């Protein structure tokens, strides 16, 4: 029987205390949550996979129980934080899993620091480029996964900085789940998101949405699992494109009726854990 996850802290080079959950022993699976989320949302992976792996779920700066400084809310700084915690833990072998913006953090980490020591990669539902360019064709937009215009980006982040912040947060989250998600799960999802101060969340949202990883993704060489939920707000074409760019990668799609949403690890934990275990063990 797996032991409950324990909380630990790590201090970055710029003095920020990061909190993370750890459970189990063995090869290390390090999980990075998405924008304005947190380690607590991965409790089904911490409990369900820690019989075979050391599962670590990090609260990135500003998120969850980590410190909330007024600086550093850029994908590149989060990637530097990741590099520092990997250097401190020195896990061998190392599997990296990124959900949503967490995948962008991993892409930034790989681009800046390389893939030495990384054995396998898992990406859950992050497009290569979220911001639509007005000159793109419809096919290019779909393959990029660009679901936002500049006007929509700044309208949403403006709401995050206003009295409508909680309502805007709730609305965007509920657009990413299936109708079958339980009220308890919805409440937890919203509560974890609101642990990240809304003004800081707006800063990171802008930075992440304005990234374009299409030139880098084809350079990923490690074995890669791409997981997608059919009920995601992102077009399936963007995950198919990433799959095509990473040679030898594996694309797994979970249908909406099976809990396949943007939060598939929450709504379809057994199915996702089975896919993940099969990939890591192969």
The domain limits of the chain are 6-281
- Predicted confidence (pLDDT) per residue in 27-83, tens digit: 999 999 999 999 999 999 999 999 999 999 999 999 999 999 999 999 999 999 999
Q: Dump pLDDT digits (tens) for 119-140.
A: 999 999 999 999 999 999 999 9
Tell me if 92 sits within 8 A of 26, measured CB to CB.
Answer: no
**Distance between CA 228 and CA 125 in Å, rounded?**
5
Order across the sheet with 250-254: list the strands.
6-11, 17-23, 54-59, 28-32, 94-99, 118-124, 224-229, 250-254
Predicted local distance difference test score (pLDDT) of residue 12: 98
**Predicted confidence (pLDDT) per residue in 154-209, tens digit:** 999 999 999 999 999 999 999 999 999 999 999 999 999 999 999 999 999 999 99
Q: What are the structure tokens assigned to 144, written together?
A: 């990029």
The proportion of the chain whose per-residue pLDDT surpasses 70, expressed as a percent, equals: 99
Quick one: pLDDT band at residue 151, thresholds 50, 70, 90? Answer: very high
* DSSP code for 188: H
* Res. 1 pLDDT band, cuts 50 70 90: low
Whether residue 256 contacts residue 236, with contact meaning beta carbons closer than 8 Å, is answered with no
Mean pLDDT of the chain: 97
For 201-227, what is the mean pLDDT?
Answer: 99
Asked whether the beta carbons of 54 and 184 are under 8 A apart, the reply is no
The predicted pLDDT at position 274 comes to 98
Among all chains, which residue has been given the structure tokens 């074409």?
A: 237
Q: How far apart are CA 194 and CA 201, in angstroms?
A: 9
Residue 22 · residue 5 · CB < 8 Å? yes
Instruction: Tell me the per-residue pLDDT of 228-258, one tens digit each, with 9 for 90 and over.
Output: 999 999 999 999 999 999 999 999 999 999 9
Q: How many angstroms separate the Cα of 245 from the Cα of each of 68, 85, 248?
A: 36, 28, 9
Quote the tokens at residue 204: 């990171």
Q: pLDDT band at residue 2, thresholds of 50, 70 and 90?
A: low
Using CA atoms, how far apart are residues 32 and 39, in angstroms rounded to an integer? 8
57-70, pLDDT tens digit by residue? 999 999 999 999 99
- For residue 167, count other CB atoms closer than 10 A to its CB: 11
Tell me: cis bond preceding 206? Omega within 30 of 0 counts: no
pLDDT tier at 3, thresholds 50, 70, 90: confident
CATH 3.40.50.1820 assigned to domain 6-281? The reply is yes
Paired tokens of 187: 């409440």
Residue 3 or 196, more confident: 196
């Amino acid at each position: 029987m797996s032991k409950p996850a324990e909380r630990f802290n790590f201090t970055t080079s710029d003095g920020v205390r990061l909190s993370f959950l750890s459970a189990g022993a063995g090869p290390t699976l390090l999980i990075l949550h998405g924008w304005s989320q947190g380690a607590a949302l991965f409790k089904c992976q911490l409990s369900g996979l820690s019989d075979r792996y050391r599962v670590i779920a990090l609260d990135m700066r500003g998120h969850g129980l980590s410190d909330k400084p007024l600086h550093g809310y850029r994908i590149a700084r989060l990637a530097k934080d990741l590099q520092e915690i990997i250097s401190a833990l020195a896990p061998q072998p190392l599997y990296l899993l990124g959900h949503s913006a967490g995948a962008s953090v991993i892409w930034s980490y790989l681009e800046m620091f390389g893939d030495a020591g990384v054995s396998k990669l898992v990406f859950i539902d992050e497009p290569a480029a979220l911001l639509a360019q007005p000159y793109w064709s419809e096919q290019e937009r779909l393959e990029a996964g660009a679901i936002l215009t500049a006007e929509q980006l700044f309208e949403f982040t403006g709401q995050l900085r206003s009295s409508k912040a909680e309502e805007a947060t709730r609305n965007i989250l509920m657009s990413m789940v299936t109708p079958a998600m339980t009220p308890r799960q919805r409440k937890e999802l919203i509560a974890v998101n609101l642990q990240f101060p809304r003004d800081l969340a707006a800063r990171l949202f802008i930075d992440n949405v304005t990234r374009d990883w299409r030139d880098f993704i084809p350079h990923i060489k490690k074995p890669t699992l791409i997981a997608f939920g059919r009920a995601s707000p992102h077009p399936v074409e963007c995950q198919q494109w990433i799959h095509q760019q990473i040679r030898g990668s594996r694309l797994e799609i979970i249908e909406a009726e099976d809990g396949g949403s943007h939060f598939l690890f929450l709504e379809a934990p057994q199915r996702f854990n089975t896919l993940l275990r099969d990939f890591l063990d192969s």
